[in-house]
Homo-oligomer: A and B are copies of this chain.
């Protein structure tokens, strides 16, 4: 598995574009299109938030047959909580995209991100889609990745090549996400393309598992969005022998997709609103995978852990506190806590530790916490960021 350039359009047969359609007040890019030369197997995972935004509902219907050719995305307005008008607008986005790309509107994935409860300016959206569709290109990946950003400070894309049988299969991806990040079942916007030839239900299973281990294991602020969506499209143009649940290549491809999702998730956590550090929490020695995930995510999501990281304060008591209310099965008298490689608490009891060494760990941009439950063999990692003054500033002023 090798990192390559090209982002979302790295796999064969994919093109993209991103333009400014005037949906964002600041004139930045806000409409993106990703499309494949041929019809793809496609599947998706959505937010568990009961206020699912309109584009998720339309995409859910369009992906019922597990086929798609293109994705249209706007940023600036989330098209959430807009009732019947919202659904109509999301369908219009698919319809217009289908028309200008000359594909079936039901093969279009629709996604939106931005302010909730505001109507889409459909004139801008329509003109934007027409313009974006005209210029889709192999090198449109960066424009597309930029056009889906909201409070993101960096655009997020990556691509890998992975050997599947005799073929080099490519995987491309882009994502947006910086705030309202506490995904559950799906997250933010994540788009993955691949030229792999793969059976659709197998693709679906791989995506669902990968999302659980990656996007669902990050948290910026504990808020699960209405618009979270991860989509994967596989166009088969790599001509590998079809991957299915019995393939000997299944694991290689599954691991590659999980890796791509994990790296995207980490990019999102690191770019958390106002973040100055990436926090990685690993829980080992758990009785079950679920326990390990609950514990790791709870620690990563704790405002008190996050502010301690921002303040570079080795307050490990907050780590065990967050573990204690996580719901994970633990024995308080067996828990070991490490900050970096530094043992802070052994068997649930605080140790005298070297404050200077702890500060060294905390001064890093990537801070690692490890907790050993000493109960079983399961482990999980979670990623988050610190909670800074800047987070408060950004979110006190978001709509204005």
Residues of A within 8 A of B (CB): 47-52, 78, 80-83, 85-86, 115-119, 179-180, 182, 184, 221-226, 301-304, 307-308, 310-318, 320-325, 330, 332-333, 344-345, 347-350, 387-389, 391-400
Contact = CB atoms under 8 A, between A and B. Distances in A.
A83 B333 contact: yes
Nearest to A394: B307
Nearest to A312: B396
Contacts of A78: 317
B116 A317 contact: yes
16 contacts: A48-B325, A51-B320, A51-B324, A51-B348, A116-B315, A116-B320, A117-B317, A117-B344, A117-B345, A119-B350, A223-B322, A226-B321, A303-B395, A311-B396, A311-B397, A314-B399
A302 B223 contact: yes
Contacts of A312: 396
Nearest to A85: B349
Contact of A396 (B313, B332, B349, B396): B313
Contacts of A49: 321, 324-325
A320 B398 contact: no
A313 B399 contact: yes
Contacts of A324: 49-51, 224, 226
Given A51-B320, A388-B392, A398 B222 contact: no
Contacts of A393: 389
A51 B389 CA distance: 30
A391 B392 CA distance: 9
A360 B184 CA distance: 35
A330 to B, nearest CB: 5
Nearest to A306: B395
Contacts of A316: 116-117
A329 to B, nearest CB: 9
A184 B327 CA distance: 12
Contact of A224 (B50, B117, B321, B394): B321
B116 A318 contact: yes
A350 B325 CA distance: 36
Contacts of A225: 321
A86 B348 CA distance: 11
